[in-house]
Amino acid sequence: MKILYGVPGEGMGHATRSKVIISHLLKNHDVKIVSSSRAYDFLNKNFPGRAVKIEGFHIAYKDGSVSKMKTFNETLKSGPKNLWENFNKYREIVKVFMPDIIISDFESFSYYFGKYHKLPIVSIDNMQVIDRCRLEIKIPDDEKLNYTIAKNIIRLKVPNCRYYLVTTFFHPPVVKENTGFIPPILRDDIIQAKTTCEDHIVVYQTSTSQTNLIKILQNLPKEKFHVYGFNHDKKFDNVELKPFSEENFIHDLASAKAVISNGGFSLISESVYLKKPVCSFPIQKQFEQFVNAAYIDFMGYGKHLREFTGEGIKAFLYDVKKFQNKISNYKQDGNKETFARLDEVIGNL
C-alpha cells in the first residue's frame, strides 16, 4: 500500500516520533513523506529519497511565549510564495507517487491532498486530545481564551479524518467518534535505556528568555542540576550547562532522579515512560503545553508550575518520593501496542 505521511516542520517532536512510525510502516508499505524546515532535514537524512520538502507554517515567539500577532503577520508575508511552492510539490507527487491513504501528524499539506483526491486520512498526534476528549483538569480563567483558540485551531486543522489515533500518557473521556488512544511513541534509544536513580536532576529549557534559571537553581545548593537547551559547556557551582548530545542527554535522563522542563509532549512522555517525576513550567499561551503540565499534576506524576520560582521547585523536590511512587505504576510495553493498533486501523481501511 502507498502511504503519504505528513509531518509539520514546527518542533522536532513530530519528526522524531514520525521516524518511529515510518520505520514500522516501511516493513509492509511504500511511504512518501512531506515536511518542512528542520523536520524535513531530519527525515530526509533518515529516509533518503522518500522525503519531499514543502513550505510550512511557523509559530513566532516573544519573551518566552507564543506571539499570535507576530505569527499572523509572518504567515501573511510568506503565504503567497509558500502556496505557489507547495502547489508545485503537489503536482510533483501526483506524477510520481499517487498514495492509497494519508497519515497526518497534524500536518495540512498531506491532509488537503487526501481530501482533494477523496483518500482515507488517519490522524496521529497528541493535540487532538484537546478537541476530541473532555478534559478533567481545572482550566483557570486566564487560560480559557487560550483553550478556546487552541480547540478551534485543532478542530479546523485536520477535520473529518477517517480515524484519529491520539498518542497520550493520560486518558480523558472521549467525546467524538472514530477516536482511539495509543501510548506515547518512543524512540528505540529511550526503550533500550537502562534506568537508574542517581542524585542529579535533568533540566531542559527551550526558551532562552528564562534568564533567571541558573540563579534560581544555584539557590538550591544541595541539588545537582544538568541543564540542556542553552547548548553551552559551563559549570556554575551546582548547575552544569551541557551541550546537546542525544546520547548524553538520554543517559542523563535515564539516570536522573527527576526532570524539570517546559510542557513539550515528547520529553514529558519519555520521562513518564522512564518513570521520572516531572516539574513542568509550560510556555505561556501554548495551551497544549498547559494540558501536558496540568495532567502531570493531575496524575500525581509531578508538579505543574504556573510561575518558575525557587519555591515551586523546592515544593516539587520535597514531594519527589511521593511522585516517584505514583509514577512507578505507569505501564507501557514500548511501541508494541501502538504498532498493533496502527496496523489494525490501516487494515480496516
Q: Which residue range forms the structural domain that includes residue 163?
A: 2-185+334-348
Looking at the structure, do residues 116 and 82 belong to the same domain, yes or no?
A: yes
Buried b (16+ CB within 10 A) or exposed e, 167-191: bbbbebebeeeebebbbbbbbeebb
The C-alpha angle 221, 223, 224, rounded to 5 degrees, equals 105
Q: Each residue of 21-66: pLDDT tens digit? A: 999 999 999 999 999 989 999 999 999 999 999 975 544 334 444 4
**Which CATH number do you get for residue 42?**
3.40.50.2000
Q: Are residues 45 and 129 in the same domain?
A: yes
Per-residue pLDDT averaged across 122-141, rounded? 97
What is the full DSSP assignment across 74-108? HHHHHHHHHHHHHHHHHHHHHHH---SEEEESS-H
Indicate whether 19 and 120 sit together in one domain.
yes
What was the pLDDT predicted at 60? 39
pLDDT at 230: 87
Task: Report the distance separating Cα 282 and Cα 290, nearest Å.
Answer: 6
Check whether residue 143 and residue 204 sit in a common domain. Answer: no
Q: What per-residue confidence (pLDDT) applies to 210?
A: 66
- How far, in Å, CA of 306 to CA of 294, rounded? 10
User: Which uninterrupted H or E stretch holds 125?
Assistant: strand 121-125
What integer pLDDT is reported at residue 62 of this predicted model? 46
The answer to whether residue 72 scores a pLDDT higher than 50 is: no
> What average pLDDT does the chain have?
90
Residues 201 and 90 placed together within one structural domain of the fold? no
- Both 15 and 96 in one domain: the answer is yes
Same domain, 272 and 200: yes
Do 63 and 129 share a structural domain?
yes
Same domain, 321 and 339: no
Asked whether residue 127 falls in the same domain as residue 198, the answer is no
Average pLDDT of the residues in 164-179: 98
Sequence-ordered alpha helix ranges (H) in the chain: 13-25, 37-46, 68-96, 108-116, 129-132, 141-157, 188-192, 213-218, 246-255, 265-273, 287-298, 310-318, 320-327, 336-348
If one counts the domains in the chain, the total is 2
Looking at the fold, whether 155 and 28 belong to one and the same domain comes out as yes
Task: Check pLDDT > 80 for residue 10.
Answer: no
Q: What is the pLDDT of residues 201-238, one digit of tens each?
A: 999 986 555 678 999 999 999 999 999 988 889 999 99
| pLDDT at position 303 over 80 | yes
Spatial separation of the C-alpha atoms in residues 261 and 206, rounded to whole Å: 8
**How sure is the predictor about 284, in pLDDT bands with cuts at 50, 70 and 90?**
confident
- Cβ 245 vs Cβ 228: under 8 Å: no
74 and 144 in a single domain? The answer is yes
Question: Cα angle at 68 between 64 and 74, to 5 degrees?
Answer: 100
